[in-house]
């Protein structure tokens, strides 16, 4: 049976200093990102989280819709205010790495990352991240929207070959509260660590789990499609794609891997 998220349960046993301490819980909302943006604009602190059991207008990257069944998944947005501790381009990699670590810690499955910040298990996507930036009176704030397919059993037929959930990957229900708490801890831990070493270890770890590099890819979005080889990341976090005798740095788009790993 699917249960509803409750603030008391989500916060009981939470071991963080800031992340998830200020928490807004909804049974239904349009989009947690939209709500978190408003909260950031009126000055809510770093680590503030909006979480919902269901979104009626969930937002995905590149203007897409993010649909998820009610009471099955983790749909949340976190406010980040890194000031000058971390460059902007680190943010989505940091959140992606935090989810990967939390999933590994909670249920022990291997997690791969796919540029720009999707997370995969068994080659299928179970988590997407939508990072939004805004100017506030307290400086630049980021809202990191995280959609994790946790216990969803079914996906629309057009997604069954590319999408999965943690339940489908493991064969058992996953406790959303434990995963939420683990995510808050890994986010806070990585965020603190990245503030000390300028994100070096976090980026190394993200790149180690990335399945995109060295592969033949097609990149779409924001212009003509590019067919080439994904070589790595540029100094400012773009994807370096070699095509013919040209190298293009891609900052937004979708990558399709067109050749299986050797």
Contact residues toward ligand BTN (CB under 6 A) are 31-33, 55, 58-61, 64, 66, 75-77, 118, 128-130, 145-147
**Identity of the residue, 145 or 228, whose beta carbon is nearer to ligand BTN in the bound complex:** 145
**Calpha distance 234→240 (Å, rounded):** 6
**Integer Cα distance of 153 and 73 in angstroms:** 10
Cβ distance to ligand BTN smaller for residue 86 or 130: 130
Please report how close the Cβ of residue 161 comes to ligand BTN at its closest, in angstroms: 16
Nearer to ligand BTN, 65 or 200 (CB): 65
Q: Which is nearer to ligand BTN, 26 or 213 (CB)?
A: 26
For residue 246, the SS3 value is strand
CB 215 within 8 A of CB 242: no
Q: Return d(Cα 35, Cα 115) in angstroms, integer.
A: 26
Nearest-angstrom CA–CA distance, 164 and 151: 10
Reduced to 3 states (helix: H, G, I; strand: E, B; else coil), residue 232 is strand
Min CB(24)–ligand BTN separation in Å: 13
Nearer to ligand BTN, 144 or 168 (CB): 144
Least Å distance between CB 251 and ligand BTN? Answer: 16
State residue 7 phi and psi, 5-degree precision.
-55, -45
| Minimum CB distance to ligand BTN, residue 194 (Å) | 21
By beta-carbon distance, which residue lies closest to ligand BTN? 128
Contact yes or no for 35/25 (Cβ under 8 A): no
Cβ 224 to ligand BTN, closest distance in Å? 21
């Amino acid at each position: 049976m699917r249960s509803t998220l409750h603030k008391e349960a989500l916060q009981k046993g939470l071991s963080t200093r800031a992340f998830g301490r200020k928490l807004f819980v909804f049974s239904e909302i349009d989009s947690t990102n939209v709500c978190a943006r408003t909260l950031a604009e009126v000055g809510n602190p770093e680590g503030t989280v909006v979480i919902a059991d269901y979104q009626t207008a969930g937002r995905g990257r590149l203007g897409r819709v993010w649909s998820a069944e009610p009471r099955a998944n983790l749909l949340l947005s976190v406010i980040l205010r890194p000031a000058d501790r971390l460059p902007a381009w680190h943010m989505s990699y940091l959140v992606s790495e935090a989810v990967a670590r939390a999933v590994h810690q909670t249920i022990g499955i291997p997690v791969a990352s796919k540029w720009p910040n999707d997370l995969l298990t068994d080659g299928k996507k179970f988590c997407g991240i939508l990072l939004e930036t805004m100017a506030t009176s307290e400086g630049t704030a980021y809202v990191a929207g995280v959609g994790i397919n946790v216990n969803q059993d079914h996906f629309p037929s057009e997604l069954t070959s590319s999408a999965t959930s943690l339940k489908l990957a493991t064969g058992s229900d996953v406790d959303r509260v434990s995963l939420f708490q683990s995510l808050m801890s890994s986010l806070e831990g990585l965020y603190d660590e990245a503030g000390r070493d300028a994100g070096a270890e976090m980026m190394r770890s993200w790149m180690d789990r990335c399945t995109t590099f060295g592969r033949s890819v097609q990149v779409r979005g924001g212009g003509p499609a590019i067919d080439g080889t994904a070589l790595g990341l540029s100094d400012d976090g773009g994807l370096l794609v070699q095509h013919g005798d040209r190298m293009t740095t891609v900052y937004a788009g979708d990558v399709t891997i067109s050749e299986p790993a050797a």
